[in-house]
């Protein structure tokens, strides 16, 4: 979260219930956060009004502080406004599916056409044809041809002397003849919206009857993005939006504004100049980005990647049956190690960086190695059944792993605590875990 928002949150954290004054103060900060992220003022007003109505008098969930509760509502509303889920390309029941890119000059239309072709090839082995409809700069045609060569995708062009409308007409014919399943039409842009360009685009639309008209917008456009999107939508009726250059440090507030003003779903985002730098749009991720909330999702994803789902299910089963053993314990260590330094992970949680005692979360590699050595010194039977570990067995393990009996005892105690905690979690009893209520 932004610093201001975090301050407002820590003030609120001490309170028990969400009052109108609390919400008012939080909302002021959230408004600023949104404006800082370049969300259009009108959109911000509308949005905060909705959130305020929802937030006042809301029951505070036991597991959340009032401030977290408000942020949660804001995040949910933001996600909802951005469109609740990822929407793909609308396909034509009969081939080809025709997709037309429109937008201002430099927004990233041509680059996106290449990225989309690549995406369609990778995800559904598509056989697209690209049409070079920007005849005003010879370089624009070459740019598309280079992309076509890289991807092994045919590019239809007729140079700069023929009108774009005629090029598209002939390109469409070729696609039908060659049975291409997709046609991607690259069009010209201007620095500003002008009548002549809009007329040309309308004629291309008439000829090509596209299934999708995707408006490509540079995320850095900021406040102006709303006017641009509104004009294109009024004149052409866009079916989707592509936000490019999100790899920059912009917070992407334009996405929220455009979505609110046009109602058209955001379908893809561009995150770099390479052909593979394309992402299917996820409203929830964009919401955290706009709010600037830590890197919660990166954290969750990172943890998920390293955590094999099947193992998780097995573990849950074991926790329920209280048969969590040393084999699982060691596996947990390994998973933690794979995730990288635990402190780094903790820091990604919003507000965590300010938490006193973060250093206690340090996972000391030497300590982990020692504990692993002790577990490896156990017999398979002992690993599966920790209750077997009587004093003589503990002495043997200490000698075998080069540790003292005290250390072995400490490790076993830690294991048992960990097992108890797992059981609490599996029963959904989060509040009984020491330290959890502060998170």
Instruction: List the one residue from 189, 210, 294, 351 that touches ligand GDP (CB under 6 A).
Output: 189
DSSP 240: E
106 scored as a contact of ligand GDP (CB under 6 A): yes
Min separation Cβ 280 and ligand GDP, Å: 14
Q: Which stretch binds ligand GDP (CB under 6 A): 39-47, 57-65, 267-275, 309-317?
A: 267-275
Q: Which pair of tokens denotes residue 291?
A: 């709010």
Instruction: Return the closest-CA partner of residue 242 out of 88, 120, 123.
Output: 88
For residue 106, the partner it binds in ligand GDP, Mg ion, none, with Cβ less than 5 to 8 A by kind, is ligand GDP
For residue 259, the partner it binds in Mg ion, ligand GDP, none, with Cβ less than 5 to 8 A by kind, is none
Q: Which residue's CB comes closest to ligand GDP?
A: 270
Q: How far is CA 366 from CA 361, 372, 373, in A?
A: 15, 10, 11
Min separation Cβ 357 and ligand GDP, Å: 40
Could you give the CA distance from residue 386 to residue 215 in angstroms, rounded to a whole number?
Answer: 62
Q: Per-residue string for binding with ligand GDP, 49-88, x by CB under 6 A?
A: ----------------------------------------
Min separation Cβ 400 and ligand GDP, Å: 56
187 scored as a contact of Mg ion (CB under 5 A): no
Could you give the CA distance from residue 11 to residue 26 in angstroms, rounded to a whole number?
Answer: 10
Three-class SS state of 131: strand
Q: What is the DSSP string of 396-423?
A: HHHHHHT--HHHHHHHHHHHHHHHHHHH
For residue 114, the partner it binds in ligand GDP, Mg ion, none, with Cβ less than 5 to 8 A by kind, is none
Task: Please give the backbone phi and psi of residue 280, each rounded to the nearest 5 degrees, phi first.
Answer: -70, 135
110 scored as a contact of Mg ion (CB under 5 A): yes
Could you give the CA distance from residue 19 to residue 32 in angstroms, rounded to a whole number?
Answer: 20
Q: Per-residue string for binding with Mg ion, 134-173, x by CB under 5 A?
A: ------x---------------------------------
Across 238-376, the runs of DSSP E, i.e. the strands, are: 240-244, 266-270, 278-280
257 scored as a contact of ligand GDP (CB under 6 A): no
Q: Which is nearer to ligand GDP, 109 or 383 (CB)?
A: 109
55 is an annotated ligand-binding site residue: no
Could you give the CA distance from residue 311 to residue 342 in angstroms, rounded to a whole number?
Answer: 20
102 scored as a contact of ligand GDP (CB under 6 A): no
285 scored as a contact of ligand GDP (CB under 6 A): no
Q: Do the Cβ atoms of 382 and 279 come closer than 8 Å?
A: no
Q: Which of residues 107-136 bind ligand GDP (CB under 6 A)?
A: 107-111
Q: Per-residue string for binding with ligand GDP, 208-247, x by CB under 6 A?
A: --------x---------------------------xx-x
401 scored as a contact of Mg ion (CB under 5 A): no
Q: What is the DSSP string of 344-392?
A: HHHHTSTTGGG-TTGGGG---HHHHHHHHHHHHTS-HHHHH-GGG--HH
Instruction: Return the closest-CA partner of residue 49 out of 79, 73, 14.
Output: 73
Q: Which pair of tokens denotes residue 346?
A: 């903790």
Longest dimension (CA), the chain: 92
377 scored as a contact of ligand GDP (CB under 6 A): no
Min separation Cβ 241 and ligand GDP, Å: 14
Instruction: Return the closest-CA partner of residue 388 out of 321, 326, 306, 320.
Output: 326
For residue 308, the partner it binds in ligand GDP, Mg ion, none, with Cβ less than 5 to 8 A by kind, is none
221 is an annotated ligand-binding site residue: no
For residue 245, the partner it binds in Mg ion, ligand GDP, none, with Cβ less than 5 to 8 A by kind, is ligand GDP
Task: Please give the backbone phi and psi of residue 84, each rounded to the nearest 5 degrees, phi first.
Answer: -65, -30
Q: Which residues are annotated as a binding site for GTP?
A: 103-110, 186-190, 244-247
Binding residues (CB under 6 A) for ligand GDP: these are 103, 105-111, 189, 216, 244-245, 247, 270-273, 277
Interface residue list for Mg ion (CB under 5 A): 109-110, 140
């Amino acid at each position: 979260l932004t610093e201001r928002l975090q301050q407002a949150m820590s003030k609120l954290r001490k309170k028990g219930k969400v009052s109108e004054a609390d919400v008012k103060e939080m909302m002021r900060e959230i408004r600023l956060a949104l404006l800082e992220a370049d969300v259009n003022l009108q959109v911000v007003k509308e949005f905060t009004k909705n959130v305020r109505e929802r937030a006042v008098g809301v029951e505070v969930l036991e597991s959340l502080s009032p401030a977290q509760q408000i942020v949660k509502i804001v995040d949910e509303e933001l996600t909802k406004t951005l469109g609740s889920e990822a929407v793909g390309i609308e396909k034509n029941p009969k081939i080809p599916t025709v997709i037309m890119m429109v937008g201002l000059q430099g927004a990233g239309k041509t680059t996106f056409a290449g990225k989309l072709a690549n995406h369609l090839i990778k995800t559904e082995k598509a056989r697209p044809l690209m049409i070079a409809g920007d005849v005003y700069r010879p370089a624009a045609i070459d740019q598309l041809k280079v992309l076509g060569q890289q991807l092994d995708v045919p590019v239809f062009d007729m140079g700069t002397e023929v009108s774009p409308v005629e090029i598209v007409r002939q390109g469409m014919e070729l696609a039908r003849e060659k049975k291409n399943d997709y046609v991607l039409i690259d069009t010209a842009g201007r620095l500003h919206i002008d009548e002549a360009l809009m007329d040309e685009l309308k004629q291309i639309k008439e000829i090509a009857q596209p299934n999708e008209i995707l408006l490509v917008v540079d995320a850095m456009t900021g406040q102006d993005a709303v006017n641009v999107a509104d004009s294109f939508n009024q004149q052409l009726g866009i079916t989707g939006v592509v936000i490019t250059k999100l790899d920059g440090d912009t917070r992407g507030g334009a996405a929220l504004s455009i979505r609110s003003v046009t109602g058209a779903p955001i379908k893809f985002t561009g995150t770099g100049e390479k052909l593979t730098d394309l992402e299917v749009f996820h409203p929830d991720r964009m919401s955290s980005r706009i709010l600037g909330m830590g890197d919660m999702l990166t954290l969750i994803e990172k943890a998920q990647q390293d955590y094999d789902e099947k193992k998780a299910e097995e573990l849950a089963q074991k926790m329920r049956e209280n048969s969590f053993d040393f084999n699982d314990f060691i596996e947990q260590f390994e998973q933690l190690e794979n995730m990288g330094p635990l402190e780094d992970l903790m820091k990604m949680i919003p507000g965590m960086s300010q938490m006193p005692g973060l250093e206690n979360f340090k996972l000391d590699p030497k300590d982990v190695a020692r504990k692993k050595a002790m577990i490896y010194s156990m017999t398979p039977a002992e690993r599966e059944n920790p209750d077997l570990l009587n004093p003589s067995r503990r002495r043997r393990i200490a000698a075998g792993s080069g540790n003292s009996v005290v250390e072995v005892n400490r490790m076993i105690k830690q294991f048992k605590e960990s097992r108890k905690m797992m059981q609490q979690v599996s029963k959904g009893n989060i509040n009984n875990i020491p330290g959890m209520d502060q998170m």
